[in-house]
Structure 1
Amino acid sequence: MSDFNKDDYLNDLPDADELANGQASPDADGADAPSDTGEQLKDDMLKDAAAEQSAGEQASEESAKAAAEATADAASDGDAEGSPLTPLGQAKKEAAEYLEALQRERAEFINYRNRTKKDMDRARQQGIIDVLTAMLPGLDDIDRIREHGEMDDSFKAVAAKIDKTFEKFGVEKFGLKGEDFDPTKHEAILHKPDPEASKATVDTVVEAGYRIGDRVIRAARVVVASPQN
């Protein structure tokens, strides 16, 4: 066995400059190790770039696939302009049309119902007016009898029932002595000067007036007391 020479061993070791430049000493078997770590780094970078490119291509394919599926869904729903409707889209369209037609028919029915109600009310009111107009002469006679006190209890009861019946149908009797003369509801058959009158007032009610609501059926025929001047 040869003696170990410390100086020879130390001389065979690579110096610091060689290690800094990436150079390695022969291994124990005498085979040379890779001399440049930059080549390894370059290979790793190329592998990473290839992996990134592959991932990008995969993502691009997935995006294209998703876009194609979205286009197919839009076409299937018939949302695209000019595209044919699917059975579901056609059903939705028909449902919307039926709803619009139903709403239109409902509005027309409501208008018809309101017109019918107004026509019925108008016809009912006209019927009351016709009956009242036909009975006016008799009602005037009852008023004259009542005014002269020639009415017995039985006749008074009948007259009261007639008045209540007309009140039930909205007929209002008006025209009282002493109230202000109003040409919109009074018909003056005579003007009588009155030195004590400061304004035109009803002096005598010849025939009472009748109205339904704001509609005057017959103006009250009265004698008017007017100021002399």
Structure 2
Amino acid sequence: MSDFNKDDYLKDLPDVDSLNGENASGTAGGSHEQNAPTTAGGQSDAAASGVDQPHHEASDANKAGSAAPSDAKPATAADGNKQAAQSAQADAQRASADAADNGKDGDADHDKDGSLTPLGQAKKEAAEYLEALQRERAEFINYRNRMNKEREQSRQYGIVDVLTSLLPALDDIDRIREHGQMDDSFKAVATKIDKTFAKFGVEKFGEKGEDFDPTKHEAVLQKPDPEAKKETVDTVVEAGYRIGDRVVRAARVVVSMPQS
């Protein structure tokens, strides 16, 4: 590769003056070539177009503007109100149609095909659980009432058994009390026994002079009495006992009968 010589390269370049002359001649020729051709009347096409074109465009715009709105009518407030009313009516019809569709499709518990939604299924299960709970509660209340009744009956049966076993002793206490052969200490014991039975609901009945009642009195003897106007208890042989409405033992009595 030969060495580059800067002096030889600069000698081969053209002068600046010659380059300026060529540019000036090119510019003059170019300017004559770019001049617009003249018309037969002595005016160039560019001049004619520059003068006449804006005039024609303005006239065309005026014509278009005057012809376009000639058939249109200015909008009024009545037209605006009419359009608003029509729009409101359309919205109301749309809302009613949507409500009808919602009613047709079903409520929140059912789908369009009639099947239960998750919310509807949950409500159904809650209703079933509530019904089962109420049924169980009613059964429990009946069971509790039945057990209370059975417990009370069992309690009464126990009292009846004890009372039945003690009836002979109680009858002896009554005979001793009737004949006046009871001292103070024995009276205190007899009083405690009576209070104890009264505490458990045991009621003693049967007194001389009361009306005879076959539902609670057992007549062991009947004697005519000219002064008697109706059947009355003359003598109590053995007192009667009852618990509530249940008669444990009827009072055994002697009945005074009126003479016929």
Indicate whether the TM-score tops 0.5.
yes
Over the residues paired in the alignment, what is the CA RMSD in angstroms?
3.6
**In 2, Cα distance between the equivalents of 1:223 and 1:93?**
73
Give the drift of 1:61: 11
Q: Name the residue aligned to 2:230.
A: 199
Larger Rg computed on CA atoms: 2
Post-superposition Cα deviations, 1:41-84, rounded to whole Å, max 9, x if no partner, equal 5x979xx6xx95xx66x937982897299649956833358522
Q: Name the residue aligned to 1:130.
A: 161
Q: Paired residue for 2:178, among 139, 142, 147?
A: 147
How high is the TM-score relative to the length of structure 1? 0.70
Are the structure 2 counterparts of residues 64 and 216 from structure 1 closer, same or farther at C-alpha, using a change threshold of 3 Å? closer
Equivalences for residues 35-46 of structure 1 within 5 A:
40=72
Are the structure 2 counterparts of residues 61 and 203 from structure 1 closer, same or farther at C-alpha, using a change threshold of 3 Å? closer
Q: Name the residue aligned to 2:146.
A: 115
Post-superposition Cα deviations, 1:1-49, rounded to whole Å, max 9, x if no partner, equal xxxxxxxxxxxxxxxxxxxxxxxxxxxxxxxx89xx9x555x979xx6x
Identity percentage over the alignment? 68
Matched, 1:67 2:108: no
SS class of match (1:85): coil
Q: Paired residue for 2:220, among 189, 207, 213?
A: 189
Q: Name the amino acid aligned to 1:135.
A: L
Give the conservation status (yes or no) of the 8 Å contact 1:76–1:86. no
Q: Paired residue for 2:210, among 179, 182, 191?
A: 179
How high is the TM-score relative to the length of structure 2? 0.62
Post-superposition Cα deviations, 1:103-141, rounded to whole Å, max 9, x if no partner, equal 111111111111111111111111111111111111111
Q: Name the amino acid aligned to 1:194.
A: D
**In 1, Cα distance between the equivalents of 2:128 and 2:112?**
19
Give the conservation status (yes or no) of the 8 Å contact 1:76–1:85. no
Equivalences for residues 6-17 of structure 1 within 5 A:
none
